[in-house]
Structure 1
Amino acid sequence: MKTQMPDHWPSTLGPVICVVGARPNFMKMAPILRAFAAHQPAIPTLLLHTGQHYDRDMNDKLFEDLRLPHPDINLEVGSGSHAVQTAEVMRRFEPVVDDKKPSCVLVVGDVNSTLACTLVAVKKGIPVVHVEAGLRSYDRAMPEEINRVLTDQVADRLYTTERSAADNLTREGIAAERIRFVGNVMIDSLLSNRSFARSPADCLQAAGVDPALIQGAQGFGIVTMHRPSNVDHADILASLLGVLREISESIPLVFALHPRTKSNIERFGLGNLIDQTKMIMLPPQGYLEMLGLMANARIVLTDSGGLQEETTALGVPCLTMRENTERPITVEQGTNTMVGRNLDSIRHHAAEILAGRGKSGRVPENWDGQTSQRIAADLATWLIERHNRN
């Protein structure tokens, strides 16, 4: 029997605490908050920023670009080791839960804040909702994989981006009634913001770089690298920079340079591998800047998880410099090809793409810009049914 939605949210049913901690969380949470506000009745929320990653200038810009309200609560945890950061988020989050008495805690993705807030909520008897559940790289050396697995085990409602995620969860003993396939909220953000994206020329000009460097007939490519396995070892970083320099002889490459990568290039003395006229180094880019660059690129080379999804949605060929991916649908259906750190594979697939033989792919099921609305409708029904039973 279909639950009858009340005209107003029950006064005895607390708000949904929506947790963000690092940059990818913002892109996922912005459309969710808009969908919650637009739902009838509106779902009351509190936006909590743990402060796990915090750069004041970039933080303010992200909130502005994504039309995201400023947080109701900021725990201001800051950086630290995984143990210290997780423990500090838990310590500061617990009194918030005690004070606000939420109907549930909604977490997204796989950062330390996701696991930390999940553990606090579960031990307090507060339901946990995990958006982007069931993704698996099966690489336990990745801290994100540990966060994903543990969060999914104790979450009460698990929203998945692709159907194969339910198979992963079922194998781990998670009951089917806890799982809902809804689609990808990252694509909600991408589609709602594409018309606001900055032009590549504007991105270069803002960094003091001549846009003429990327305005030739051959177009340009995008590079992002930040994972420790790629940038923390001098020999690996040198080999990757070397093959990227080779590719830049055919097409200029724009690097959105992560601070960790920049620091290691300097620390290892690898600046000589970079031809600044063909390998264009930009500072970290805002969301709308990165969206504009990706949408206009001929090729993307990355080790990011989110970019694998976004390039698939944009139809831009992507080479992922990792040995595994937690987003296999981008390979099976999308434009993504896994090349690892195999230099011959990177060369070969880049040449194929630049010759016009890259993967065209297709947009996966439910990556349609409506995922947040599906989450809002299901979550409201689920919470009100729980409330009525109690």
Structure 2
Amino acid sequence: MYESYFGLTGAPFLLNPDPSFFFDSRGHSSALSYLKFGLYQAEGFIVVTGDIGAGKTTLVRTLLDDIDNDKVVAAQLVSTQLEAGDLLRSAITAFGIPPRGQTKAELIATLEAYLTLLATQNKRAVLIVDEAQNLSRDAIEELRMLSNFQFGNQALLQSFLIGQPELRDMLLSRSLEQLRQRVIASYHLGPMDRDETRRYIEHRLKKVGWQDHPHFDDDAFDEIYQWTSGIPRRINLLCNRLLLATFLAEGNTITSTDVARIAMEIRAEIGEPTTSRTADPTPSATPAVQEPLRPVMVPTLTDSVSQQADAPRFTNELLQPRATRGPKTHAFLLVVGSRTGCVRAAALQKAFATRSDLPALKMLLLSAPGQFELTADWQEHLGIREPDYTLRMPPGSTVGQFADALRQLDNLLSEVNPAAVIVQGGDDAALAASLASHRQGLPIIHLEAGLRSFDRTRTQEINAMMCDHMADLLLTSEWVAHDNLAREGIPADRVQFVGNLVMDSIRAMLPQASPPKYTLRQFGQSPDILKHKHGYGLVNLTASGIGSQLLPLTDLVAILKSICRDLPLIWVASETTHQLITQNNLLAGVDASHLALLPVVPYYKMIGLVGTAACILTDSSTVQEEATIMGVPCLTLHNYTERRITVEQGTNIAVGCNSSLIHRAIAEILRGGGKKGRLPKFWDGMTANRVAEHMAAWWKLRAPRESLVTTV
């Protein structure tokens, strides 16, 4: 209707998915790469999830357009309200196979015969299941059984599961453990950010010949983002109506006022109450006690504005702060409980030392037997100060140590009474400090907020989520964390993107990095392992992961024994892992020239090992960061990682403990050097300065008047 008026060759914002309009946003580009990676792997399952309207169907159709039909035969299931038997019939129909028989055995035989025929013609079959969250568990199990079809060593069928976030939760259930082990890659498609939203709109307009008629004001793009939250389908709906309204009014410019008016009209049409984005305060005849400022939740096209404006938060109604407390110190208390925490703390201490608009930064170290110890060697090379406070946990169970940490923290916080408590990541120290601080009404700042692996069986995942919801200020290291926090209802005005503090410390540490030959000699290992034509691989496992469990460790060792014949390995093992290896004689028969076993080494030595390795095998999210920072291919021994950015943009590949995937990735490294990544945004060595800037701005709004004049 409006196309000819604006000189357009077609409608730019139709709701039907159209691959010709595919926009290569950061998230869509990564998701498409995952799908193409899956095609290359030619086995297992690829899982892509995303919210309604995120562009999943367009993504699938774009992939189908790019498939080489001479090599790959793809079929797509769209209607997934299916039981197991119906799934078989639908798959056969989708591949265009004439049905023969009606029994399950006959259907399976028909499908297997067709897939085998494709294999003899050097073709592969791919089944794409859209809206997979609607499948019954029996239907999903049927898909897993179909993945058992083989022709020699070749898998006959590969499946792509595309669905809403509920699909991921479904796959995490115990009943689907076998299928989950066959997922070779998983990606969640989040909304676009503000800049991408603008480029998305302009991209679609330019596809139909747009020449800035109508003209969009800069504020109009911002307003569209606010109302749509960067969801493509919402953007299309709103922009289509904007063009129609502008045409009917014979206008040529779209302003932020136009956007808000049309957005509220759409909300009224779909049955939501309308409101302005901000309400003018009502003057009062008499002064009133000022209420604390609350975060403003901006309404979107589909959100109900009648809901309470605050996101869900923990409350102190049942746990009141102590009546007796020490004097307020106006110092920030940084809680550290791990190796990585000390690495971040070193960078943060340097940034705070240069600021006159921030309180003093005090450090609290939580130490437990068998865990990381901050030695003088670490302090010297990291440039980190002696902790101001140290709490030592007694030997015992994890739960017992956590309870003791809470008790000690409660006493310490009451005595010190800091202005704010800074916690990091999702370790037990962060959760204990957050709970104790929240009980006493102390503000909480969370570094490394919003990271999710979507594996709810991991203690660290639950810890991180709880810390995020208790925090007053959340500082993130990657954009995808903002998507995670938004989905959990945390207001955007509490979240700031700062980058990666580990990069700051690595940049400072590089001149001190110890060459691997000196590290090997220190622990009685021959440096000859470094002379191999392909270099060496570095193995590092966390003390609480695979390296602490005998059966998974035994399986991994079998894989490492095979790898080290072609690529020598240096294994930096925790005390727990070292004991399991020694007590069970796991490395029997392995030549010292193929595998060198080292204890945990100081950071400057570890950076030397990471930086010169041909590849790294690890289950540590920190080592994944370090590998991406230093450009070293990294094989993550989990199917999921909270460090998704290292997979999307960095050098990381999630291979799990799948022997086939690990050997294939190693072979690729030996052939061509492995995955080449790039540094994510704000992984630039300047993160500590940005953290200090945001903390200073936050503190200025909260600090008592006298503390802005003097600092501790």
Question: TM-score normalized by structure 2?
Answer: 0.51
Task: Name the counterpart of 2:387.
Answer: 71
Aligned to 2:619: 303
- Aligned in 2, Cα 1:273/1:163: closer, same or farther, shift over 3 Å? farther
Q: Map 1:34-49 to 2 at 5 A.
A: 34-49=350-365
Match of 2:683 in 1: 367
Matched letter for residue 470 of structure 2: V
Between Structure 1 and Structure 2, how many residues are aligned? 380
SS in 2 for 1:337: strand
Q: Which residue among 423, 434, 452 is the counterpart of 1:118? A: 434
Change (3 A) 1:229 1:28: closer
Partner of 2:503: 187
Q: Deviations over 1:185-205 (max 9, x none)?
A: 111111111111111111101
2:397 is matched with 81
Q: Are residues 1:128 and 2:460 paired?
A: no
- How high is the sequence identity, in percent, across the aligned residues? 36
Please state how far the C-alpha of 1:61 moved relative to its aligned partner. Answer: 2.1
What is the aligned partner in structure 1 of residue 642 from structure 2? 326
Please say if 1:376 is aligned against 2:692.
Answer: yes
Superposed CA offset, 1:49-100 (max 9, x none) = 1213667976332222211000111111245323212211111112222222
Native 8 Å contact 1:258 1:284 kept in 2: yes
In structure 1, what is the Cα distance between the partners aligned to 2:384 and 2:576?
Answer: 27
Specify the alignment match of 2:367 in structure 1: 51
Residues 189-268 of structure 1 mapped to structure 2, 5 A cutoff? 189-226=505-542, 230-268=546-584
Tell me what 1:351 maps to: 667
> What is the aligned partner in structure 2 of residue 154 from structure 1?
470
Q: Is the 8 A contact 1:39 1:377 kept in 2?
A: no
Equivalent AA in structure 1 for residue 419 of structure 2: S
Structure 1 unaligned runs (5+)? 1-10
Distance 2:371 2:451 in 1: 28
Counterpart Cα distance in 1 of 2:506 and 2:686 = 12
**What amino acid is aligned across from residue 164 of structure 1 in structure 2?**
V
**Secondary structure class of the residue paired with 2:560:** helix
In structure 2, what is the Cα distance between the partners aligned to 1:300 and 1:219?
12
The answer to whether the 8 Å contact 1:243/1:343 transfers is: yes
Cα deviation for residue 160 of structure 1 reads 0.3
Q: Is the 8 A contact 1:318 1:336 kept in 2?
A: yes
Q: Secondary structure of the residue that 1:105 maps to in structure 2?
A: strand
* CA distance 1:145–1:385, change in 2 (3 Å): same
Please say which of residues 268-277 and 336-345 is displaced more in the overlay.
Answer: 268-277
Corresponding residue SS for 1:223: strand
Whether 1:60 and 2:379 are equivalent positions in the alignment is: no
Equivalence for 1:340:
656
Deviations 1:251-271 (A, max 9, x none): 211000111211222333323
Shift of 1:12: 7.2
Alpha-carbon displacement from aligned partner over 1:93-112 (angstroms, at most 9, x marks no partner): 12222222211000112211
Match of 1:316 in 2: 632
Relative to 1, partners in 2 of residues 1:57 and 1:51: Cα closer, same or farther, differing over 3 Å? closer
Between 1 and 2, higher relative CO (CA 8 Å, sep ≥ 6) is seen in 1
Any conservation in 2 of the 1:85–1:112 contact (CA below 8 Å)? no
Deviations 1:344-380 (A, max 9, x none): 0000001101111511110000000111111111101
Using the TM superposition, give the Cα deviation of residue 249 of structure 1 relative to its aligned residue in structure 2, in angstroms. Answer: 1.3
Between the aligned partners of 2:432 and 2:633, the Cα distance in structure 1 is 35
In 1, Cα distance between equivalents of 2:530 and 2:673: 21
What is the SS of the residue equivalent to 1:129?
A: strand
> Given that residues 52 and 113 in structure 1 are in contact (C-alpha distance below 8 angstroms), is that contact kept between their aligned partners in structure 2?
no
Superimposed CA distance per residue, residues 201-259 of structure 1 (whole angstroms, 9 cap, x where no aligned partner): 11101111121221233211101123655244444322211221221111211000111
Higher-Rg member (1/2): 2
Look up the equivalent residue of 2:568 and give its one-letter code.
P
> Corresponding residue for 1:387?
703
Q: 1:20 maps to which residue?
A: 336
User: Given that residues 106 and 131 in structure 1 are in contact (C-alpha distance below 8 angstroms), is that contact kept between their aligned partners in structure 2?
Assistant: yes
Q: 1:137 to 1:386 in 2, by over 3 A?
A: same
- Corresponding residue number in structure 1 for 2:485: 169
d(CA) in 2 for partners of 1:357, 1:205: 27
